[in-house]
Structure 1
Amino acid sequence: MTNGQDEEARFEEVQNRLSNEALREEIEKAIADGRVPPVMVSRREAEELDRGGDLEGVIGLDALEAIVRRVGRPPLIVQNDAIGLEPLPDFPAGTDTLIKKVEPSVRSVGRVEFVNHTMGWGGTGWVISEVDETTRVIATNRHVAKLVAARADNGKGIFLRSPASGVRYGAEIDFKEEVNSNPGDAQPVKVTEIIYLADDAAPDVALLRIKGPNLPSALPLADDEADAGLRVALIGYPAYDPRNDRHDQARYFKGLFEVKRFAPGFVMQALGGQAALTHDCTSLGGNSGSPLISLEDGKVVGLHYAGLYGVENHAVGVNTLRRLATGERPVLAAGFEASSEQHAEKARDGSHQVTFFDGRTGYDPDFLGEELSAPWPGIDVAVQESLARPSDEDGDRPFELRYTHFGVKYHQPRRQPLMTAVNIDGEHSVKVKRTNDKWFADERLPAEIQLGQADYSDPQIDRGHMVRREDPNWDTEATSSTDVTAVAKLANADTFHYTNAALQHSRLNQGNQLWLGLEDYILESARTEGFKACVFTGPIFRAEDLKLANGLAVPQEFWKLVAMPAAGGEKLHATAYLLSQGDLIRDLLESRSRVEAVEGFVLGAYRTFQLAIADLAEATGLDLATYIPADPLGNSRIGSEAITAGEPVFLPLDTLDQIVV
């Protein structure tokens, strides 16, 4: 940006207008009442406030920033990676020499900027570690990253979407943005991943991954926590902040905001016991995520995250930063305590002991024949860490809950199946009459990671069978489709375990008719033609999934893959389907930088799509390599051309006869 005298004068005028007592009282009352999280206000936003604009649309972060000492703590200007010195009468002699000695640190600090968001930027970030020559990890605050992202179950961050346009947010780090810099001086580097986003009950930290050439070096971390009285400095991007006295801001900043500053000060209180790490370096909104470095050796002693005007600023200690940077994560509650009411609901349902499942063989990947193997989709190692391990786990078939003719791989954090797999034998299918449904817990898994009847008390939430009740109901010993044998009964009953159910919102009913019709189509085809089929089904878990009052997240999309013998029985035939408003398809467009994703893509009603198995694999992260060559949609002429052009291959289905087989 360019900050000439005219702009300084104009902004000073804005500050003066903003000093209007009535307006300041409105801002302060809004903050005090909790109606808006207090944060920085940019030039444009200050003018918007002065015109009577909406406070909630202007003020966005949830942490305080503050001038602690009204004099003697100048935020020094950074220009061309050099710190502009000023008299420092409050500091010991030689402090200016120490500042110049740590001057290289400023190159490793950048502004956290947003893509597709109404806020152009949200705070400060700095290089905390180096992965390789082209990859760095950036440290900033959780409350900065949460402006554009949400925390996933695995502790990572997932970029959210604009509620207005539906376009996904993004982030960049710009290591310049100095006083008198020009737009061409900007050096934004794309954030490729949010590798850690703290829970609200953990220290205010987020870690971002960036990739690119000529990236700055990591700032070294101090070996120990900082002592009180240590000379330190804050490096960041302070913005005009209506919570701080305008005269103090005018004296310190002279109308120059949103540019890189180096603010020296002292550690006020050392971290330890119940004592927080505090300092008196001058900060304003925009300093969130700034490194607090020691002037003695240039090492980071903390991560600034909050402050109170005239009192103190707070920082996360270096030992916490070191643990997070090396991959350690806070230990949060892993289970869910069931209330007495939930216990009562489960008692009304039922629970099957481990011995009840003796002899269950689960899903058979060789069901279609040795030459037509249909293995479980491969699961990424990181996702496997979230899977539950049943007490009777077979070492050769890890993670599988084995039932009659089907298996379940269960996602522990979401307390729902990650996926199911069922063998369908059309020739020996048995029709088992449905009676009053009775659901059961499976005692091969801990009770606290399973849902119960109370979790489905919301009238808009249904128990959605992942393996349909009718699909595994067959027996090679049955004499007819009405010969309800013990095996068929057991298969039917096995589907009524909570481990086989996913939370389903009633809104899915908008597209459920065709989705259920698809399953009927598959089953009836198997019955009519007398052939076998293997069906995999699962929800798509997203960080932004709708959450119920009890905190449970409800999946908004479901996928299905059907494998069966092709005509002649010598080759595999496989097709994939999606029940969705179109989120997954839009993700595929965005991941391939297709402009369709940002040119008015609209999520419609829930509907069923057929999509290329290769695209399902990319979108879900599952290994479906066995099935991609057997996919008629992906291997059709149109499908091949689309894949070559980088387009996802999908077909909205209005009737079942539209399926590409």
Structure 2
Amino acid sequence: MVNKMGQIQQEALKRYLAFEKEHNAENRQVTSTEKMITRSSIINHHDNLAMERIINKSDLFPIAHLQAGLNVSKAVCRISIRGRSGQLEGYGTGFLVAPNLLLTNNHVLETAEAAMYAVAEFNYEDDVQFMPLEIISFRLDPEALFVTDEALDFTLVAVEENNLSAVSLADFGYLPLLPKPGKILEGEYVTIIQHPNGGPKAITIRENEVKFISSDFIHYVSDTEPGSSGSPVFNDQWMVVALHHAGIPDPTDNNRWIANEGIRISSIIQHLSDKRSGLENERSRKLLDKLLAVVMPGRSTTPMEVGILSADWYAGVSGYDPAFLGAGFKVPLPVLGKALTKDTAQTVDGKTVLDYTHFSIAMSKSRRLAFYTAVNIDGDQLVDVKRGNDRWYFDPRIEEAYQIGPEFYQSNDIDRGHLVRRRDPNWGIDAVKANEHTFHFTNCSPQHKNFNQKAWLDLEDYLLDNAREFGMKISVFTGPVFRQDDVSYRDAKIPDQFWKVAVMIKDGTSLSATAYLQTQEDLIGGDLEFVYGQFETYQVPIEQIEKLTDLDFGGLRQADPLSGGTFVHVRRREDIRL
């Protein structure tokens, strides 16, 4: 343990010195206007002293701040680390983050076996007369849930709901972990509730300045001691911003400490989300879902309904029709580049395109998403089919391993974005079948929950409304842009750009092919913290889509009014050039 702690401290020192060098080189302001706006958005508007504290112009707090601190401190406990025979081996700190889940450091509880013999001790503190309160102990339950990570130095473990004296763990509350960004800024001060040296509960107040914030870590100047590992690090609103895990030694004096390091809560949440699908124990998944439902409110933890379609549903389907627009106006499927061709998922009979009712899809094996979708829309035969129960399907014609399934979309702000929109292929006598076919995992791509509710939806409505109003036929291609630096989440990558190519007959005499690009790049951070941003849609040359995707649309380039031209910012329907 001593050697490991020394290694952790040295790694923290390296990060601290690197951040210090980087900040000195940049010579940047501590707080940008954009960050300040985000920070102020999560402040209780009744605390009219908060902004003055944040910008270091005041040390005044409302008196209720002290009571709020006492309230959150109930969820903080001392962890007694014991061996198999019961002998005491050391202490740490932990805190409840859900009704029966406790968070601490990996170096405090490295294994499920260590957690089995450890004890969480609440109320180990003195009252106002400096008399000790009665300690209330609970055993941990790693068999129910135990998730740990050495790199981020955290352990999440279940705790028994009632102890041997029938005391309820619920009496101590919990500290919700909020993934929303902007909980703390460099230059602000943090507060740490801890059990220093395994002693009674203590608190560090003020003069604990945050020096650096990186993607995974926060560095701050504060008074902590051995035994403080696993303590919650709070901002002024008593929100947990980090998990304390190490002191940073002075490189010139081993007896001095120059700062402390904590792990950002957002990084821990992302890791827990990533690990969920790999948990074999159903009870563990349910417990973790409860935590994720707290940190990402509004997202359902009810498993998505996954159905099975019989072979009859795929027999004789029409798929995308290249001759759909009429004689002399053939619009073939886009041609995949060489690298994409090698990465294409094939059916058992060697086909590289999956045909559905009025649309077709080509799938990437590595990304488990569609390279493109292609749909025919007949505005003269559209049928209004009700949505139904949102039951989704794996396509049995390709391996399930090549399709992103329900586990990916569980308990987060990610929507299953239809690539072929549900309403588009719903025409003719097979409209109901087409509607059901759009609910395949092959036809969805992960998108932020707000993404397909704004400009992209307006564009799709525009195309469908024109088809309906004028009895037009339209062929539409849609897909994601795959990039190496797309955000990794759970066991996949989330595209941050999507494209669409719409083809129709103009004035009854010639093809018109227009391409559109929309990005959710500004909405997804590397730690999956979602921030507010402006959705923008652009009409772009088809050549631009080809460069981004390695698809070849052939003759459609000559039918593009923007061929060789510039981008058009689409703010309203009138901006579209056909």
Normalising by structure 2, report the TM-score: 0.47
Whichever of the two has the greater Rg, that structure is 1
